[in-house]
Amino acid sequence: MKKIFYYILLSAICILPFSCSLDEESRTEIDKTRFMLNAQEAETVLLGVYQSLVSDAMYGFNLSILFNMATDCEQVEGSTTENFRIIPSNAFNASQSEVQATWAALYKAIYNANDFMEILKQRMKTYTETDKQLAYIYMAEARAIRGMCYFELVRRFGNVVLMTSTAMSEQAPSTFVQESPKVIYEFIEEDLKYAIQNLPYAKEDTDRQNSKFRMSKGAALGLLTKVYATWAGYPIEDHSKWEEAAKTAKSLIESRQHDLLNDYEQLWLNTCNGIWDPTESLIEISFYSTTAAGGASDACGRIGKWNGVKTTVIAGERGSCAGNYKVVHPFVIKWREKDLPEGQEVFDENTPIPDKRYNLSIANYQYSPTKTLYAKGKSDTEATALKNDCDKTKKNKEKQNYTPAKWDIEKYVIYQSKLINNDKSNVNWYFLRYADVLLLYAEALNEWKQGPTKEAYDAINKVRFRAYGDHSHDLQNLNIDQFRKAIQDERAYELAFEGHRRLDLIRWGIYYKTVKETSNSIRSWFTDNNGNTPYNTAGRYTKLGKHELFPIPQRDMDLCEQFVQNPNWN
C-alpha cells in the first residue's frame, strides 16, 4: 500500500518540457480523494517530499558539491573549464544546464511540499485525534523542507518567485514576478517558526514511529539561526538579524538536546554508513534510509565518489572514486602552520599537527589497484607522504592532488556492496551540524554585542576543545575584528569541504577578494620553470558583483517577461 501512494505522488509532479520551471502543476489526471486518508498514508506521501532532496540537481551533487567549490579551500581538478569544470571555475553563463536543473528542482520540491500541505489540511479534518497530532508534525516537516528550499533559492539566486500554493502553477509565465529577498526571508522565517512550534526534538520524539533523518525542533532552530546569520550579511545586511540569530541559537543550546560528538571521526563513520545519531546531526540528507526510498541496493548520491579519496576500481569488490574535488594547497599550508610551536616559522615533516581535524579532513594519500594505501611518491605511509610533501625538490603540481578525507569510502564504509558503483554511493550529506550552530552563535554574539562575550568564547572554544583535546588552544582577549577573523578561520577548519565556505565568504562580503587572493597565492606558490600553469582556480574568471549570485536561468528569463536578471549576467 505504501508503495502505491508513493508512486501516485511521483506521478503527480511531472514537468512539461515547454513549461516555465515555476510551473510545476501535474498534467497527470489522478484522483487525490483516494489517498492520505489517515496519518499513515500521509506519512508515506511526506517521504516523497523528502525524496525531492536527493537528486543530482539537489543534494545528490549540485547543492552538496558542484555549486560550492571555487573558494580558498577547494577547487576542481584540471586546468581547463571543459565539461564538469565550468561551474567550479565560475566560467559558466546563464544557460548552463546544471543551473537550470537545480532552479527547477528547488521549485519542484516546493511544489511537492505545497501539494502535500494543501491535501493534508483538508484530510486531517476527518482524522482521529491521534492522527491529527501526527498531521501537525507532518505539516511542520513539510514547512521546514519548503523553508530550506527557499533558503537555497534566495541565498544563491537573490530575487526569486514566491510560490505559496499549487494554484500559482496555473499562471502564465508572463505573470510571474520576483519578490525581494526580504519578502522571501520573511516567508522562510514564518515556515521555520511554525516548524519550531510543532516539531518535537529528535531525542524526545515519541509520536513518529521512525524519525531518522527527519526534520525536528532542533533542526528548525538550527536552520533558522543560519537563515538569520545569512540575512544579516551581504547582500541584504539587515544587522538587526544578528540578535535574532543569537537568541535562536541560544534556545537550541540551552535545550541541551544536542551536543558535539566526543570523537570528530565518528561523524564520518556515521554518515558514510547511514547511521543516524541526532546528537550532532541536525539536518542530514539521507541516501541510505526510507527517506531515500531506495535502501542499500539503490545508490543515489555522489558523496564520496566525487569528493572523496581517489580510489582505483577492483572488479567485483569496489568501484572507483574519481577524486575530482581537490584541496587548495595554500589552505593545506595555512592549516599546518597555524599552530607552529613558538619560535618555529616554517612547517616540516617533524612538526606535530595538534589539530586532530587536519588528518581527518585532508587526504594526502590514494588507494592503489592492489587495495593498499599509498601516498605521493608511492609511499605506503602517510608520514612518508608528509615528508615528500615538505621536500622542496618535489614538484608542486604533485601536491595539488590532495582530496577531502571526510568521505573516505574505502576507510569508513562497512558494507562492501555499496562500493561497487563507480558513480554513486549511499553516503549521506550533513546539511547542518550542531558545531555549525555553535560557531554561528559565537559569530552572532560578536556582531550583535560589538565584541565577543563570555558565551561567544564558550561556543567557539567548545568546538576547538574537541579539535585539540584540551583547553591549551582556547581563544581569549580578542577585539571584535580579531574574533570575527577567528570565526571565519574556525569555520574553514571545522566545516572544511562541507558546502559552507563559498556561501560564508559571500555573506561576509569577501568572496571576490578571497578567491582572487587564493588564485594569486597558488600562482605564486606554483613555480615551474617548464612553463606549466597552476591547476584550475576560480580566480581568473570570478567577477566582483557577479558571482556572489547565480544567474536566473536563461530559459526562465525568456519565458517570464517581468523577470530581471542578476547583475552582470546579461
The pLDDT value given to residue 506: 98
pLDDT band at 317 (very low <50, low <70, confident <90, very high): confident
Lowest mean pLDDT among 129-133, 389-393, 440-444, 517-521: 389-393
pLDDT band at 23 (very low <50, low <70, confident <90, very high): low
The pLDDT value given to residue 15: 33
Contact (Cβ atoms closer than 8 angstroms) between residue 421 and residue 298: no
* pLDDT at residue 290 is higher than 50: no
What CA–CA distance (Å, rounded) separates 529 from 403?
A: 26
What CA–CA distance (Å, rounded) separates 560 from 173?
A: 5
| 172, 337, 415 from 177: Cα distances, Å | 11, 50, 49
Higher pLDDT, 471 or 525: 471
* pLDDT at residue 427 is higher than 60: yes
Please write the tens of the pLDDT for every residue from 120-132: 999 999 999 999 9
- The set of long-range contacts for 77-84, using a CB threshold of 8 Å and a minimum separation of 24, is 77/323, 77/324, 77/325, 77/326, 77/535, 77/536, 78/535, 78/536, 79/533, 79/534, 79/535, 79/536, 80/536, 81/536, 81/541, 84/324
The pLDDT value given to residue 371: 57
The pLDDT value given to residue 300: 79
Please write the tens of the pLDDT for every residue from 194-229: 999 999 999 999 999 999 999 999 999 999 999 999
Please write the tens of the pLDDT for every residue from 45-87: 999 999 999 999 999 999 999 999 999 999 998 878 889 999 9
The pLDDT value given to residue 345: 87
* pLDDT at residue 247 is higher than 80: yes
Q: Which three cell numbers stand for residue 543?
A: 567577477
Please write the tens of the pLDDT for every residue from 337-377: 999 998 898 888 888 999 999 999 999 888 887 655 555 44
Q: Which three cell numbers stand for residue 161?
A: 518567485
Average pLDDT over residues 322-344: 92
Domain with CATH 1.25.40.890 in the chain: 2-71+93-257
Q: Which three cell numbers stand for residue 358?
A: 587536519
What CA–CA distance (Å, rounded) separates 144 from 150?
A: 10
Give percent of the chain above pLDDT 70.
Answer: 86
Average pLDDT, the chain: 88
Please write the tens of the pLDDT for every residue from 196-205: 999 999 999 9
Cis-peptide, bond into residue 235, ω within 30° of zero? yes
Higher pLDDT, 18 or 157: 157
C-alpha dihedral, 386 to 267 to 74 to 302, nearest 10°: 120
pLDDT band at 297 (very low <50, low <70, confident <90, very high): very low
Residues in the chain: 570
Lowest mean pLDDT among 271-285, 292-306, 431-445, 482-496: 292-306
> pTM, whole model, 2 decimals?
0.92
* pLDDT at residue 259 is higher than 60: yes
Q: For the domain bounded by 2-71+93-257, which CATH number is listed?
A: 1.25.40.890
Contact (Cβ atoms closer than 8 angstroms) between residue 365 and residue 375: yes
Contacts of 370 (CB under 8 A, 6+ apart): none
Please write the tens of the pLDDT for every residue from 501-558: 999 999 999 999 999 999 988 888 876 666 666 666 788 899 999 999 999 999 999 9
Contact (Cβ atoms closer than 8 angstroms) between residue 187 and residue 162: yes
pLDDT band at 137 (very low <50, low <70, confident <90, very high): very high
* pLDDT at residue 31 is higher than 80: no
pLDDT band at 236 (very low <50, low <70, confident <90, very high): very high
Average pLDDT over residues 159-182: 96
Contact (Cβ atoms closer than 8 angstroms) between residue 30 and residue 119: no
The pLDDT value given to residue 299: 56
| 336, 355, 445, 515 from 471: Cα distances, Å | 19, 12, 21, 33
What CA–CA distance (Å, rounded) separates 556 from 23?
A: 10
The pLDDT value given to residue 7: 29
Q: Which three cell numbers stand for residue 567?
A: 547583475
Per DSSP, the three-state class of 79 is: coil
* pLDDT at residue 291 is higher than 80: no
